[in-house]
Structure 1
Amino acid sequence: MVMVVGVPGVGKTTLMQKFVYDWVKGDLYQRFSFVFFFKFRELNRLDKVSLETLILHHYPYLWQQLGNIFQDPEKLLFIFDGLDESNQTMDFTSRHLCSDPKQPERCGDIVVSLVRKSLLNGCSVLMTSRPTRLASMDCEAFQRMVEISGFSPKERRIYFDNFFRDPELAEKAFTYVRQNDTLYTFCYLPSYCWIICTVLSRSFQTTSSDQQVSLLPRTVTQLFAIFVANILSNHSPEKSGAQKLLQSMGWMAEHGVMNHTIIFDGRDLESFEVDNRSRLLSSFLMESEEPVSYSFLHLTVQEFFSALVHYVDFSLEKLEQSLNKAKFYPDGRGEMFLRFLCGLSDDTTRSILSEYLDTQAAQASREVITWVKDLNVEEEKLMFSNENKQLLLNIFYYLFESRNKVLVQEYFKSLRSLDLSRIHLSALDCTLLAFILENCRYVEELALEHSSLDNEGLERLAPGLLKLKFLSLTRNKIPDTSCMQLASVIRNNRSLKKLILSCNHLSGPHLSDLMEALSSSASQIELLDFYEDDLPDNIYLHFPSIVRNKPSLKTLILASNRLSGPHFGDLMEALSCPSCRVEELRLTFSNLNGTACIQLASLIRKHQYLKKLDLFDSLSGPHIEELMEALSSPHCRIEILDLGRNNLPNLSCIPLASGIRNNHNLKRLDLSDNHLSGPHLRDLLDALSNPGCRIEELHLERNGWTKKEKDALRELESRKPDLRIYF
């Protein structure tokens, strides 16, 4: 059971068709004896039907063999394309399941029963959907979720070369697109790539039409507007005839979007007064036979016309009704409609089709802008709810399509922190996020943790990162080439104070570019987090320069890295120099060997600014005592020390006691998860009883204490009211 997910136009249907083609040719998937291909849009017309009838409706020539076919379900594959186009409720956790292929049921129940294996147990199911439909569904019944990522940069170039027969024109078109970040990002979607190439082919070639559209697109709405305008221009119809077709076809498209109708028949065309004799009709609608039906070239084309009609034939009542409906569809069917509505609110975008629009199109624009202003996302929930984050991302699309910078500033005038963690961000998402950040005056903090950012995404996002004070890119598997993008951001953003790059496993030749940027005078970083990045040892050659030349750096996190290499000593020496102002050093889970402990002890003795040192689960070797004795140095200013889970034996209580007696700065000490129980606990207790001891919080959990030792700890706590002991 596999679900294939992809945004509109990325090629889900094409992939399914290629699957069937490879099977028919005998090249792939030969373990299946039968592959049954269904489109959800075609199933929308069916009421209650049995699986047997459903198959025979599409494959009538199997009527004599179907009984035998069902006897071997392991050799059957069912493909259901376009779950987002289904008008039926589908609950993959439902208990209403059928097991008889002859029993009439709702199509949705049949699909769920196949997925849940109550019907034809052993068969395989392959399904496609837009991610918006799945956002509100439980998909645990699927063994695998696969996402189509679209064209890679190399594949985009190949597509242009194949589309344009003239190599010179292909080069000209691709160069133009490559220089336009937004257009180039659109090209990862095959269907948009086709439209872009179609638009550019007409824009770059000589034409006799004086109405040829010269504007080149910068948003998805502009792309579709130019596509439609070029078709209208090239067919040279009368303006009134074209406007009437846009109106009738638009209302039919709008009705379809709102009611999950994608296939229309002659009665629908008649009802909406669509003239099927118009030469233009075939440019936007495809006709199928047996029985005769019509559908738009692509669902996205239908969604564009459904939005355009509100500017072609304005009705305040209809517009308000559609806005309110589309906003609350849980399956996301109204998303593209809303994006196009917002895109057409822009005067420049609307001007592309101005000669076909209603005289009150500007009023429609004002109503849409007012609607966007009234959308409410509760900021306090954005940190916790993925649903709210997805809603916010949708609003970003509305604002991006509108190109309304004033609206962006007004909408986010109180937003200081933005968290889109655990929301998959495509390169297109990053393009619009950069637009939002560039036009938001007050956003200072951005968290994009676990967002699946790739190199192109970071490249598109980079212009929006130049005003931030805090940036977290945790768990994004940042590719090496992206380090160049981050280096550029660091050099050009003197406001950036906190940079979190943890859990990215950074490596490769371009990591040095990032390190050099961090050591440059332009960088004013105060917190640098490389937790669990599997940093190679040679990278530690760069840290001394960062530490020495960066008095702004206060917190350095290198936990869960390989720190016992030959260059760790260089880092410790740099941290000990007078110009270093690092106050917090986290080396958790670092497996420091004996030599590293000696080097760290030297740092503790010399560094007067270090206030917090985290060595949880980090120490090994014979020199631990030397490290503890360093706490007695008069230059040691450590206030918070974590030595938890380091296998410290009872004998360690002696050097610990010495350090506590001589260090009057220590406020919090963590010794949990060690082996301190034993006779030398008394040395530790005596040191803690010393009037010069300033420790306020002491963690001693999980040290194997005896009842007598616990009583002694309680007695000490009762004598020192300012000391809280956890054991």
Structure 2
Amino acid sequence: MEASVSPKRLNSSGDKTNSHVNQERPGSPVPSCVSMKSDRSMGLPIHLKGGLNNNQEVPLDSPDSPVSSMVSMKSERSKGLPIHFQGDFKNEKIPRPDSPVPSCVSMKSDRLMGLPTHLKGDSDKDEDFQMKTTSPEPTYYAYGPPMIPLEAVEATKSHLRRKFQYLLEGTATQGQTRLFNEIYTDLYITEGGEGEVNKEHEVRQIETASRRAEAEDIAIKCTDIFKPLPGQSKPLRTVLTKGVAGIGKTVSVQKFILDWADGKANQDVQFIFPLAFRELNLIKEKNLSLLQLLQHLFREQKDIQFFRIEEHKVVFIFDGLDEYRSPLDFHNSKPVTKVEDPVSVDTLLTNLIKGNLLPSALLWITTRPGAADKIPFECVDRVTEIQGFNDFEKKEYFRKRISDENLAKRAISHLKSSRSLYIMCHIPVLCWISATVLERMFTEASSGEIPKSLTQMYIHFLIIQMEIREGKYTDTDEEMIFRLGKLAFQQLEKGNLIFYEEDLRECGIDITEASVYSGVCTQIFREESVLYQRKVFSFVHLSIQEFLAAVHVHVSFTIKGKNVLRSDHTCPLLHDLHKVGVDLALESEDGHLDLFIRFLLGLSLESNQKNLDSLLKNAKKTSLDTQETSRYIKQKIEECWTFTKMLNLFHCLNELNDTSMVKDIQEALLSGHLPWPSETTPSNCQCASLMYLLLTAEEGKYDFHLNRIIKTDECIEKTIPVIKALSQARLGWCRITSRSCEQLGLVLTQSSSLIRELDLSGNKIQDCGVEKLSRGLENPKCKLKQLKLTNCSLTERSCAILASVLSTGSSLRELNLSGNRIQDAGVKLFTDGLKSTCCKLKVLRLHNCGLTDESCFYLAAALRSNPSHLRELHLSVNTLGESGEEPLEALRKDPHCSLKILTTKPQKSWC
């Protein structure tokens, strides 16, 4: 809901006038501007000339258009950004309003919109609020041609601060405008992911790598996005940042811009131009030069036409690549090198990204993972990924978001008790939803059962968002939910996240009432104006659209007896509806119906239907039996061996409050004894139950060896999502071969992998397997610390491979090669790695490797040449004499050598 704002403005002659903002929504009690789908906040035009009435529209093509720019950052309206010149701005004052001001930040990747200048007091006296129009002679600052008024730079910089310094979270009835830095919580951004394009549903990506934010990757601050990491010398021009919806892509962009405007970072940049792909969709049929495009989008920066952009350091921020409708033809686009040459927007973009146009400009592109391949890898200098909140950051967020410390602790404790919810809070926008619901419910005595499932959480979130004064609803509000649900379902079927006027009409939504919809459902449904006054609509987050789509399907069944999932709409029983939904979800390779089917099943529970009563008073109350649905899902789990699909089926059972399949396994894990003999391969259901528990459990809760269920290479392939989510991958004596090493090596290169200890003992992986594994070990993203390869049928060839790995600066700290006949020749080759200054190995175990005194001489020579790393050396069960031990013992006593532990005698256990 957005209140009408009538701030005092200045007309062209410097007089104060009252200019109303377009799209005034009477009756809205509290201004609200947050969008969560990382997206959809809209910038409202501020009329500066004349006395326009509320209904008067100003064509954007008019050169004298009084409308300020409505450029958005991913569907958010960002205005033209200031030109930064060198100078002392430390004493600038940032005006802070005395009353809450609607924010322009959205969270779900997240739309930034221009802030209304709503300040109390006499704006004539506020030097930072506006330029002094009575200045007799403007002061010019010379930064190359042309000469630019310094007053214009101070005014634009001040405006930029006001525009980005606020963050609004919460509902219209309880939300408060907060300073960005008060609520901002650091996001985990890592480098990597080149060439990795994940087309799966983003919920799958989150849940199959639930602890990815705990990885020990090198974190990158968003303000350092263009700075090379230590050891990197190549300058960075184009950065591609990936992140699922709501993970904080646009909030990171806001932080970058705000720190720049405040003089805290990137002060070598003179221009920042934020551009939204969503808006660029609407001008793709026009031919414009780059200068014309910027003049068109950043109208308040009237001096752009005089700037020689190529002579300044410029940053272009392109937000929301996943929303761009053009194919971006990098192979056939016309070459463009001059900023004055008019071409299509698509051609401008491809030439900017390829570096033909403004090669000195810096480009930052944000996108959801599925669209990352729209840009050729060779055109990108750095790929980063926003991985959201880790456990510490989740707690930090709730402490900032909920002012009452005890309530914040209760919210965190409750979420931890429901692992599926806690994992989803990896996404900041879902943290916001959970905090909104839990804070309300913990503060109200009769708020009902605290949500433990995703469906329950979203029902309560919808109830809160629909509340109007005194919490009263009308039939019109209920009909609104029905129509929004129909829109959500139809567009979900088509794969659309953005809707236009014609889409609304198909669902019976009168376009003239759209503002009412977005006003009542302020945190659910967004309306925004983009270029040429066209309207764009969206739900604030994909999960909200999926939830409302499920509500539509559920209500169609309970009220009209229709199964809208079938073409003939026949639906005699609830089980038939659920069966069709489950089958459709399983048929989707990318999992795009996974969350939808969870919501649909959860809505059938009696407890959830009661919660819906306050929203859907006229809905038919039906006794719904879900036992048949549970049996069908368990049958599908037994038949299915695709782990991600099985995982979703278990989440479906959880929404139905059916935990029977995992209860026995959970009790067995806690007792340390599994309910099947050690030599017996468990059933698919048992394997699936076990993997579900391991993946959703807290780190370290279960001490379990994967070799209890993995017996073949095929099992490795099917359990990779679990393996990479565990810190310890104990795969000894699993009957796997070198084939599995290729899969494991690939996992080690992924930033989402948490593996720190890998045990492959007793598997005949041979030298070929070590070679395949080394491709992962040599990768800079690999964080493996301990590698155990005892009794793996290795020869001296593996020693040469591993020496090369150590020479690359591998993360390995402990290596066990015991039980392999590598002999003296192998040790000689291996010491080439120990001599390398890049070697970080601390512990080396070579028990029973067929070694003689000759190996001791090789090892002693290597440690003398590089004495600063190896601390433990174990050589028992080898043919060693005193002459071989002496040089090693001498090194152990040398204070300049790190070697402190040396064993050459038989040990009770050396494996």
Q: Please classify the TM superposition score into its range, dividing by the shorter chain length.
A: 0.5 to 0.7
> What SS does the aligned partner of 1:216 have?
coil
**Residue-by-residue CA offset, 1:22-71 (whole Å, 9 max, x unaligned):** 22222222232211112222333333232344323321133443352433
> Which residue does 1:175 correspond to in 2?
413
**Residue-by-residue CA offset, 1:153-198 (whole Å, 9 max, x unaligned):** 2211111111111111111211222343323222221111111111
Note if 1:8 corresponds to 2:245: yes
Over 3 Å counting, the alpha-carbon distance change for 1:456 and 1:34 in structure 2 is farther
Determine if contact 1:252/1:269 at 8 Å carries over to the other structure: no
> Which residue does 1:469 correspond to in 2?
710
Aligned-partner Cα distance in 2 for 1:159–1:289: 31
- Where in structure 1 are there 5+ consecutive unaligned residues? 380-391, 410-436, 447-452, 506-512, 519-523, 548-552, 563-570, 576-581, 604-616, 623-727
1:88 equivalent among 326, 333, 351:
326
**Residue-by-residue CA offset, 1:650-701 (whole Å, 9 max, x unaligned):** xxxxxxxxxxxxxxxxxxxxxxxxxxxxxxxxxxxxxxxxxxxxxxxxxxxx
> Which residue does 1:43 correspond to in 2?
280
Aligned-partner Cα distance in 2 for 1:364–1:320: 23
Aligned-partner Cα distance in 1 for 2:409–2:599: 31
Note if 1:22 corresponds to 2:222: no
Over 3 Å counting, the alpha-carbon distance change for 1:103 and 1:78 in structure 2 is same
> What SS does the aligned partner of 1:469 have?
coil
Aligned-partner Cα distance in 2 for 1:467–1:234: 56
> Which residue does 1:280 correspond to in 2?
520
Q: How does 1:122-133 map to 2 (within 5 A)?
A: 122-133=360-371
Per-residue deviation, 1:146: 0.5
Higher helix share: 1
Per-residue deviation, 1:467: 4.7
- Where in structure 2 are there 5+ consecutive unaligned residues? 1-237, 570-579, 660-681, 749-755, 779-784, 804-815, 832-844, 861-911
Instruction: Read off the aligned partner of 1:344 and give its amino acid letter.
Output: F
Aligned-partner Cα distance in 2 for 1:56–1:119: 17
Determine if contact 1:306/1:337 at 8 Å carries over to the other structure: no
Over 3 Å counting, the alpha-carbon distance change for 1:585 and 1:82 in structure 2 is farther
Instruction: Read off the aligned partner of 1:305 and give its amino acid letter.
Output: L
**Residue-by-residue CA offset, 1:273-293 (whole Å, 9 max, x unaligned):** 264436632242345468476
> Which residue does 2:461 correspond to in 1?
227
Over 3 Å counting, the alpha-carbon distance change for 1:371 and 1:598 in structure 2 is closer
Determine if contact 1:3/1:145 at 8 Å carries over to the other structure: yes
Q: How does 1:195-344 map to 2 (within 5 A)?
A: 195-208=433-446, 212=447, 214-219=449-454, 222-232=456-466, 236-238=471-473, 240-254=475-489, 258=494, 260=496, 262=498, 264=500, 268=504, 272-273=508-509, 275=513, 276-277=515-516, 280-288=520-528, 291=533, 294-313=537-556, 316=563, 338-344=593-599
1:527 equivalent among 742, 763, 766:
763
Q: How does 1:149-164 map to 2 (within 5 A)?
A: 149-164=387-402
Per-residue deviation, 1:599: 7.2
**Residue-by-residue CA offset, 1:456-515 (whole Å, 9 max, x unaligned):** 997699879485225869999x99x976x55xx78xxx996669898799xxxxxxx989
> What SS does the aligned partner of 2:355 have?
coil
Per-residue deviation, 1:116: 1.1
Per-residue deviation, 1:590: 4.2
Aligned-partner Cα distance in 1 for 2:537–2:479: 18
Instruction: Read off the aligned partner of 1:156 and give its amino acid letter.
Output: K
Aligned-partner Cα distance in 1 for 2:550–2:340: 42
Determine if contact 1:444/1:468 at 8 Å carries over to the other structure: no
Aligned-partner Cα distance in 2 for 1:460–1:105: 59
Determine if contact 1:90/1:112 at 8 Å carries over to the other structure: yes
Moved more, 311-320 or 458-467: 458-467
**Residue-by-residue CA offset, 1:223-246 (whole Å, 9 max, x unaligned):** 434422444478745474444212
Q: How does 1:369-448 map to 2 (within 5 A)?
A: 395=645, 398-403=648-653, 440-441=685-686
> Which residue does 2:293 correspond to in 1?
54
Determine if contact 2:320/2:368 at 8 Å carries over to the other structure: yes
Over 3 Å counting, the alpha-carbon distance change for 1:271 and 1:230 in structure 2 is closer
> What SS does the aligned partner of 1:282 have?
coil
> Which residue does 1:698 correspond to in 2?
none
Determine if contact 1:296/1:302 at 8 Å carries over to the other structure: yes
Q: How does 1:339-358 map to 2 (within 5 A)?
A: 339-347=594-602, 352=608, 355=613, 356=616
Determine if contact 2:322/2:367 at 8 Å carries over to the other structure: yes
Instruction: Read off the aligned partner of 2:251 and give its amino acid letter.
Output: T
Over 3 Å counting, the alpha-carbon distance change for 1:439 and 1:183 in structure 2 is farther
Task: Give the number of equivalent residue pairs.
Answer: 502
> Which residue does 2:424 correspond to in 1?
186
Identity among equivalent pairs (%): 20
> What SS does the aligned partner of 1:228 have?
helix
Per-residue deviation, 1:122: 2.4
Aligned-partner Cα distance in 2 for 1:143–1:395: 35
Determine if contact 2:550/2:600 at 8 Å carries over to the other structure: no
Determine if contact 2:328/2:346 at 8 Å carries over to the other structure: yes
Determine if contact 1:341/1:368 at 8 Å carries over to the other structure: no
Over 3 Å counting, the alpha-carbon distance change for 1:455 and 1:239 in structure 2 is closer
> What SS does the aligned partner of 1:146 have?
strand
> Which residue does 1:667 correspond to in 2?
none
Determine if contact 1:213/1:230 at 8 Å carries over to the other structure: no
> Which residue does 1:146 correspond to in 2?
384
Determine if contact 1:91/1:138 at 8 Å carries over to the other structure: no
> What SS does the aligned partner of 1:277 have?
helix
Q: With CA pairs under 8 Å and 6+ residues apart, which has the higher RCO, 1 or 2?
A: 2
Determine if contact 2:827/2:858 at 8 Å carries over to the other structure: no
Aligned-partner Cα distance in 1 for 2:696–2:628: 38
Aligned-partner Cα distance in 2 for 1:147–1:101: 31
Over 3 Å counting, the alpha-carbon distance change for 1:445 and 1:366 in structure 2 is closer
Over 3 Å counting, the alpha-carbon distance change for 1:259 and 1:55 in structure 2 is farther
Determine if contact 1:4/1:129 at 8 Å carries over to the other structure: yes
Aligned-partner Cα distance in 2 for 1:137–1:373: 42
Determine if contact 1:224/1:304 at 8 Å carries over to the other structure: yes
TM-score with structure 2 setting the length: 0.44
CA RMSD, 1 decimal: 6.0
> What SS does the aligned partner of 2:522 have?
helix
Determine if contact 1:342/1:401 at 8 Å carries over to the other structure: no
Determine if contact 1:286/1:296 at 8 Å carries over to the other structure: yes
TM-score with structure 1 setting the length: 0.54
Determine if contact 1:264/1:293 at 8 Å carries over to the other structure: yes
Per-residue deviation, 1:371: 12
> Which residue does 2:268 correspond to in 1?
31
Per-residue deviation, 1:109: 3.4
Instruction: Read off the aligned partner of 2:357 and give its amino acid letter.
Output: L
Over 3 Å counting, the alpha-carbon distance change for 1:118 and 1:401 in structure 2 is farther
Aligned-partner Cα distance in 1 for 2:627–2:364: 42
Over 3 Å counting, the alpha-carbon distance change for 1:266 and 1:482 in structure 2 is closer
Instruction: Read off the aligned partner of 1:30 and give its amino acid letter.
Output: Q
Larger Rg: 1
Aligned-partner Cα distance in 1 for 2:259–2:326: 30
Aligned-partner Cα distance in 2 for 1:181–1:95: 49
Determine if contact 1:81/1:127 at 8 Å carries over to the other structure: yes
